[in-house]
Amino acid sequence: MSQLGTVEQPLRVAIIGSGPSGFYAAEHLLKQSNLVIFIDMYDRLPTPYGLVRGGVAPDHDKIKSVSKVYDRIAANPRFRFFGNVEIGKHITHDDLKAYYHQIVYAVGAQTDRRLGVPGEDLIGSHAATEFVGWYNAHPDYRDLQFDLSQERAVVIGNGNVAMDVARILASGYDELRKTDIADYALEALRNSKVKEIYMLGRRGPAQAAFTNPELKEFGALEEADIVVNVEDATLDPLSQSDLDTNGDADSRKNVELLQKYAQQQPVGKPKRITMRFLVSPAELIGTERVEAIKIVKNVLERGSDGSLKAKATDQTEILPVGLVFRSIGYKGVPLAGVPFDAKAGVIPNQAGRVIDPQTQQTLTGEYVVGWIKRGPSGIIGTNKPDSVATANAMLEDVPTLTATVNTADIEALIKQRQPDYVTFADWQLLDQVEVNNGQAEGRPRIKFSRIEDMIAAIKTARVSNPTS
């Protein structure tokens, strides 16, 4: 038998998930000039790009432009995309093991962490991912309902996703219609009665997880004043000491911006975002739906690891609100046949190599990248070095791979089990339809939000573009 990675015996790799981490792994593998590698990328949705399409805020066009890089990767003749194919439903873990030498799990962290407080399941209490998926036309969330007749909302958390949720709630129709926000969400937000949005952070301004550009964007909102109390913007002695000795530039800038907001007076815009720090939710109050939130004041203390941790005091406050969005972190969900650490919400691994949690031994040919590897941290660009590290581990392991695989083209099996699978050429047809529909309305695109509509549009476009 010839060596793996040759023309006679190419290395066959399956990547499960088509977000940034999956594409960056594919890019690094395809760059290897000394190995012949064929890559098949799978996604349960007909559309690629993961959170770039379904998670990045609609008013962040520049961030979304990274998809052009992924298009170039997908243009490689040794790359294929199988969209609308779900692992565990259309293709099993055993199928993947039979057809591929190596499998990469790039499925991200798909669910929110819960608050764990009384009243969390009241009507009007939502995970941030639900709202984000809804306004981004994600098929899983497009039919959700959010009661935007409420005048006050609270967003719990102070990472970038929390900022996005608050900003979208506070944006005006003219700001949103310039974006690719879902058409039904645009109409719902046009009629929104939300006027007051509270953002709650359990620690102080110096520990906030949002980035400087996100915070600056608040100041540019056309219809919302930004309110920060001087007390909230003032650092406690421990935070000030940490910032003075080893604070990073982003934290310094965040504190500077927040203190600037604290000095500004509201100018009378129709909405406002009030940013609070050192507070945590203690209870959601209401009979059937959310009517208020009880928050507790925190202080910071030094933990055993040296970090500053929030400690609740006996001071509480009740805010009357009708909508609550929790954005306090994310966790992955298990894949059929693949080890999973339920506590950490990741696939257990050592430097990207999947391990059996019982034996702590690596599973030959199985790897992981992105948030399902390391947890939900970092921005899109963070995924590139992470994916390259896993891809290098895969390359190191090639000489140790001895298992033969089924050399038949798996496409025949996919076609049998899922006739409506989507190729990358199909996606490009759908992409063009969305862009054309958007141009007719003076918008960048109008997204399809139902899988059946996507498939129908692709089939129609195929007839119009028979060479595609």
Question: What is the model's pLDDT at position 22?
Answer: 96
Q: What average pLDDT does the segment 19-35 reach?
A: 96
Question: What is the model's pLDDT at position 467?
Answer: 63
Average pLDDT over the chain, rounded to an integer: 93
Q: What average pLDDT does the segment 217-230 reach?
A: 95
- Quote the CA–CA distance of 100 and 38 in Å, as a whole number: 10
382-416 per-position pLDDT tens digit = 889 999 999 999 999 999 897 788 888 999 999 99
> Who contacts 220 (Cβ-Cβ below 8 Å, separation ≥6)?
none
Question: What is the model's pLDDT at position 1?
Answer: 45
Q: How many residues does the chain have?
A: 468
- The share of the chain scoring above pLDDT 70, in percent, equals 99
Question: What is the model's pLDDT at position 110?
Answer: 74
**Do 354 and 105 contact (CB within 8 A), yes or no?**
yes
Question: What is the model's pLDDT at position 257?
Answer: 96
**Do 337 and 318 contact (CB within 8 A), yes or no?**
no
Question: What is the model's pLDDT at position 61?
Answer: 87
CATH architecture of 113-327: 3-Layer(bba) Sandwich (3.50)
**Do 370 and 19 contact (CB within 8 A), yes or no?**
yes
- Quote the CA–CA distance of 466 and 425 in Å, as a whole number: 11
Q: Which residue do the tokens 């990207």 mark?
A: 352
Between 342 and 197, residue with greater pLDDT: 197
Query: Is residue 114 pLDDT above 90, yes or no?
Result: no
Task: Report helix, strand or coil for 390.
Answer: helix
- Quote the CA–CA distance of 183 and 394 in Å, as a whole number: 42
- Write down the domain spans for the chain: 11-110+332-422, 113-327
- Quote the CA–CA distance of 310 and 270 in Å, as a whole number: 33
Q: What average pLDDT does the segment 320-324 reach?
A: 98
Residue 275's closest CA among 229, 242, 313? 229
- The share of the chain scoring above pLDDT 90, in percent, equals 82
> Who contacts 58 (Cβ-Cβ below 8 Å, separation ≥6)?
135, 136, 168, 176, 179, 180, 181
Question: What is the model's pLDDT at position 2?
Answer: 58
Question: What is the model's pLDDT at position 146?
Answer: 97
Question: What is the model's pLDDT at position 108?
Answer: 86
Tokens of 297: 């004041």
Question: What is the model's pLDDT at position 468?
Answer: 54
C-alpha dist (Å) from residue 372 to 335, 406, 464: 11, 28, 39
The CATH topology of domain 11-110+332-422 is: Rossmann fold (3.40.50)
Query: Is residue 456 pLDDT above 80, yes or no?
Result: yes
Query: Is residue 12 pLDDT above 50, yes or no?
Result: yes
Question: What is the model's pLDDT at position 375?
Answer: 80
> Who contacts 329 (Cβ-Cβ below 8 Å, separation ≥6)?
112, 113, 157, 376
pLDDT winner (highest mean) among 215-224, 237-246, 376-385? 215-224
pLDDT tier at 3, thresholds 50, 70, 90: confident
**Do 52 and 63 contact (CB within 8 A), yes or no?**
yes
